[in-house]
Amino acid sequence: MKHVKIILALLILAEIILSGYLVYTDYKGSGICLVTTDSTCNAVQDSIYGQLFGVKLTVFGVIAFSILLVTYLLSHPHKIFEKIFFIFALIGALFSIYFLSLQFFVLNKICSSCVIIDNLMIAIFA
């Protein structure tokens, strides 16, 4: 069971790092896409679905995953945070399914970095 807790923490940390790197590359003006072309990733990230209130979703991702990590770390000594973590992970998984659906069925473009981040979030919830 201890290995599962460590793996879960590492997955959440990977989400923060990947999202943070996307924020950084966007700020520098150079996109990154792990499998598909950078222009495809930029098309997804720069679409109308890539922002909320004028702020890039990658920024929200860094914030949300950081909060998720804090609630996960607090869930071991404080049982109330277990429920909060579960709720946050559920919300994150639902958003991930929504974002994946947008890529596959609405935009018809795939951002491999985004797909990895969304799949990691679904794995964290599972």
Give per-residue pLDDT as tens, 103-114. Answer: 999 999 888 888
Q: What is the pLDDT of residue 100?
A: 96
Torsion of CA 108, 116, 61, 57, to 10 degrees: -20
Q: What is the pLDDT of residue 107?
A: 92
Sign of CA dihedral 45, 49, 55, 57: negative
Q: What is the pLDDT of residue 2?
A: 79
Q: What is the pLDDT of residue 71?
A: 95
Average pLDDT over the chain reads: 88
Q: What is the pLDDT of residue 43?
A: 81
CB 3 within 8 A of CB 83: no
As a residue count, the chain comes to 126
Low-confidence stretches of the chain (pLDDT beneath 50): none
Q: What is the pLDDT of residue 5?
A: 86
CA distances for 82 relative to 14, 75, 91, 104, angstroms: 20, 5, 14, 33
> Helix (H, G, I), strand (E, B), or coil: what is residue 51?
strand
